[in-house]
Amino acid sequence: MNQNLVLGIDYGTDSVRSILVDASNGSEISSAVFFYPRWKKGLYCEPGLNQFRQHPLDYVEGLEATIKECIQKAGPEAAANVRAISIDTTGSTPVAVDSSGTPLALLPEFAENPNAMFVLWKDHTSVKEAGEINNHATKFDINYLQFVGGIYSSEWFWAKLLHILRIDEKVREACSSWVEHCDWIPFLLTGGNESSQIKRGICAAGHKALWAEEFKGLPPDEFFSSLDPLLACFTEKLFTSVYTSSEQAGHLSEEWAEKLGLSTDITVGIGAFDAHMGAVGGQIEPYHLSKVMGTSTCDMLVAPSAEVDGVLVGGICGQVPGSVIPGMMGMEAGQSAFGDTYAWFRKILAWPLENLLSQSNVIDGETASRLTEEINHKIISELSIQAAKIPLSENDELAIDWLNGRRTPDANQLLKGALFGLNLGTDAPRIFRALAEATCFGAKRIVDRFNEQGVPVKGLIGLGGVAKKSSFIMQMMADVMNMPIKIHRSEQTCAAGAAMFAATVAGLYPTVEDAMENMGQGFEAEYHPDKERVGVYANRYRKFIMLSDDIENHIMEKNGKTYTNESV
């Protein structure tokens, strides 16, 4: 049997997923998931401080385990037929590396130091540094933030780097470079041994690190050194060249080939962020907003570069040529909490189960544990069923979706979520419905921003766990947007997108568009607006805007500062 097989590797927030795919038609041969053991235990994280770190061993162990499992499930002939591997990851999730390109946490002296680990996308410990960058950028004739929506976020590359350099002298002294997760995994697989050899993808470089063709690369050293001397000459430790994900990072190293039972002839592609490859896996179309809906959302839009030449959309997460599909402008937006909002509420409701059931004199410990797991699994689905039964009214409870700050439009991680209109008749399904509605309203604000600033959103594509699992939320999304939303069939659109890029870098398809056309799995459902509900949601959306503006003004006045142009 002589197949052309490719591996797509998707690093999410909680786990890494690998799929082995037939490149001729995109059919999934096998798949495997590895949940990060250290992350699952909550190690190295302090949620109250918005500190979320991940140990590189979680990534390395997961990479080996899932690829081996995929090959084992596919049968003895599969290994010989693998042609390429491509990777996507969360982002911005950077790490400090030494001169060999090794993350510092893999060295004995830094093994338990959170500052030497990957700083996860949702880590907001660098809010102060992001505010300083925004204020500092106003002092230059060139607007170095123009291609990232005009506002720099604490979720991104430079803010996180500056924060780590400031708070940890030992990490600062050992740090030879600062590398995104999506750039480090291909470097690892290809056997790189010098940090200067790491090939950086245009996706992470453009959307998070301020790289732009118009600047002839990164902003000049003066921009960073005048912000803080700790950043002096740091650009020299980084990169000048960038690559699209349709290009090769190299070939599988002898070490990893032996470890995985694969060939060194296998091509490894340049990495990118999960939402960008997920948009490809979900068969993105020009001017259609591709919404990867997981713990957060990442919303991707592509347009022919010539058609949006000179258009700068303010308050989004960047617009970078080739970051999604080579030859097209890739525009990114998103919400800092989407599925995380529902998970937060589930955790609140499950508090008695987690804390009291084990103390019960009625049932034994094993039964208590199994009961807790069972009920936890059912909470969101049952809430959705009950919330859908509640008649919609303009005067229902209302929520604001900023439980993890706001990503777009206009990044501000100081903002907080809120609930309004509570009374003694407010129950769990009503609160859940308000939270779901708030996430849909937050999504509408993103669509409004694109439309207002000259990039029309002509359609919606839903990808990811929430889109697949919750018809309640997807119908609400269609009603709030007053626009149909179609749901992609693939269970793993990010990994599928990585597989499409792998097929491209292997030379099995001339372009990623060709790979997308031949390997795409199509759509399984489409939700259309309920005309009777559209008008009610429009009125509630106006209240949402008014209340969210009031909350933002209150929070910023309380801090005595403006996030976008002063240090916070």
Q: Is the predicted pLDDT of residue 294 greater than 90, yes or no?
A: no
Tell me which of 161-170, 503-512, 554-563 is least confident.
554-563
**d(C-alpha 536, C-alpha 533), whole Å:** 5
Mean pLDDT of 282-294: 94
Distance CA 507, CA 501 (A): 10
Q: Is the pLDDT of residue 390 over 90?
A: yes
Predicted TM-score (pTM) of this structure? 0.89
Question: Which superfamily is assigned to 5-282+490-524 in CATH?
Answer: ATPase, nucleotide binding domain (3.30.420.40)
With cut-offs at 50, 70 and 90, classify the pLDDT of residue 413: confident
Mean pLDDT, residues 58-69: 98
| Spatial distance between the Cα atoms of 400 and 549, rounded to a whole number of angstroms | 10
pLDDT of residue 562: 46
Q: Are strands 15-22 and 5-11 parallel, antiparallel or unpaired?
A: antiparallel
- On average, the pLDDT of the chain sits at 95
Residue 75 or 567, more confident: 75
pLDDT tens profile 318-343 = 999 999 999 999 999 999 999 999 99
Tell me what pLDDT residue 128 has.
96
Q: How confident is the model at residue 557 (pLDDT cuts 50, 70, 90)?
A: confident
pLDDT digits (tens, 9 = 90+) for 197-224: 999 999 999 999 999 999 999 999 999 9
- Which whole number is the average pLDDT over 5-34? 97
Burial of 395 (C-beta count, 10 Å sphere; 0-12/13-18/19+):
exposed
Q: What is the pLDDT of residues 101-122, one digit of tens each?
A: 999 999 999 999 999 999 999 9
Q: What is the pLDDT of residues 368-380, one digit of tens each?
A: 999 999 999 999 9
Q: Using H for helix, E for strand and C for coil, what is the string for 478-525?
A: HHHHCCCEEEECCCCHHHHHHHHHHHHHCCCCCCHHHHHHHHCCCEEE
What is the reported pLDDT for 1?
53
pLDDT the model gives residue 203: 97
Does the pLDDT at position 11 exceed 70? Answer: yes
Q: Is the pLDDT score of 63 beyond 90?
A: yes
Give one word for 555, left, alpha or beta, with left for phi > 0 and alpha for psi -120 to 50. Answer: alpha
What confidence tens digit (pLDDT) does each residue in 351-371 have? 999 999 989 899 998 999 999
Give the residue-averaged pLDDT of 240-254.
97
Position 563 pLDDT exceeds 50: no
Contact 436, 476 (CB under 8 A): yes
Q: Please name the CATH architecture into which domain 339-487+530-559 falls.
A: 2-Layer Sandwich (3.30)
Report the pLDDT averaged over residues 301-310. Answer: 94
Average pLDDT in the 434-453 region?
A: 97
**Phi, then psi, of 35 in degrees rounded to 5:** -85, 130
Read off the pLDDT of each residue in 384-395 and give the average, rounded to a whole number.
Answer: 96
Q: What is the pLDDT of residue 567?
A: 31
Residues of CATH 3.30.420.40 domain(s) within the chain? 5-282+490-524, 339-487+530-559
Q: Does 3 or 190 have the greater pLDDT score?
A: 190
- For the chain, the first-to-last Cα distance in angstroms comes to 61
**Measuring CA to CA, which residue among 504, 502, 521 is closest to residue 513?**
504
Answer yes or no: is pLDDT of 394 > 50: yes
> Per-residue confidence at 565, pLDDT binned at 50, 70, 90?
very low
pLDDT at 564: 42
List residues bridging with 8 in a β-sheet.
19, 86
Percent of the chain with pLDDT over 90: 92
